[in-house]
Amino acid sequence: MYLSLGSNLGDRRANLRAAIGKLMNLGDVLKVSSVYETEPLELREQPWFLNCVVLLQTELLPRLVLKRILAIEQEMGRKRTQPKGPRPIDIDILLFGSATIHTPELVLPHPAMHGRRFVLAPLAEIAPDACHPLLQLTARELLEALPRGGAKVKKLRAS
């Protein structure tokens, strides 16, 4: 399963590291992408994000993973007071193998991933051949298909 992590409040890099540590309680973190700094998309008047993508191997079903992820976000101080607003951590399930799910609580693959450079750049870095089960395109192909411009996404050097 591939997860997208983002943070734009507090020590953003430390928040990503802490979230990855907590995800280890759900299974094995097999890969972590580089960290990318990203301009906010929809609610533009907020701090820039740090983002990464994680490959998590787990025996848990997607709905239980979602429940645990929401608990991690809450434990780390996320308050859902403003849609798309600032947050210490945001964790989204991008892909769960080739599973497709469409419920009020969970949609897989993530319904907006194919249009987000801040998701596709780190995903293509660690899994260029990961296939979107509905579009039948790889992460690399989806990234290459994005139009130029849009929100700025910059790969950061490791620190």
Report the catalytic residues. 78, 87, 90, 92
In DSSP notation, 82-136 reads: STT---S-EEEEEE-TT--EE-SS-EES-TTGGG-HHHHHHHHHH-TTPEETTTT
Q: Residue 56: beta bridge partners?
A: 29
List the structure tokens of 100: 């497709």
Across-strand partners of 12? none
- Token pair listed for 39: 């301009």
Q: Which residue has the tokens 């293509």?
A: 124
Q: Can you read off the two tokens belonging to residue 130? A: 């990961």
d(CA 25, CA 68): 9
